Amino acid sequence: MKIKDKIFLPLSIDVSGLKILIVGGGRVALHKIKTLLLFTESITVLAAVHDQAFTATTVTLLRKKFEPDDLDGFGLVYACTNDRDTNRMIAESAAERHILCNVADDPELSGFISPAVYKKDDMSVSVSSGGADVKKSVKWRNRIREIIEDDFSEWD
């Protein structure tokens, strides 16, 4: 299914008690972690090799190559490897287990996409282009952050 044929519903998911798996140990995985850590610490990263910056986070690190059974027990999965075939295998294995999966570089394979998020205290704002234009979503999110921080600071 082409991205133009997909319709992504913006929603907020209850992640309390939900185990999240990120497969991949590079820059993209680290970026996903930074956003996820705003909401939960129940994050496991699975990668044979990972960036040194991961050790400064509170995530659980598993150093190994991905195998489909690694998905067991997780409720949400992010495929963030630099190998398209591996990402496809992760997405297919997750779908077989009825686990939502985001393929970081391929929204067409994804069961969900991650919006650009701004969070302050208990409030959060997310912006999504439905996977069509990530850079535009980030620009919108950054502008919203500026407006909130400049114009609504008295709302605290």
pLDDT tens by residue, 77-110? 999 999 999 999 999 999 999 999 999 988 889 9
What whole-number distance in Å separates Cα of residue 77 and Cα of residue 96? 13
What whole-number distance in Å separates Cα of residue 6 and Cα of residue 1? 7
Residue 1 has pLDDT above 60, yes or no: no
For 131, which DSSP code? T
What whole-number distance in Å separates Cα of residue 56 and Cα of residue 62? 15
Radius of gyration of the chain (CA): 16
Task: Render pLDDT for 21-73 as a digit per residue (tens, 0 to 9).
Answer: 999 999 999 999 999 999 999 999 999 988 888 888 889 999 999 999 999 99
0.85 surpassed by pTM: yes
DSSP string, 28-67: HHHHHHHHHTTT-S-EEEE-SS--GGGGGSS-EEE-S---
Residue 19 has pLDDT above 90, yes or no: yes
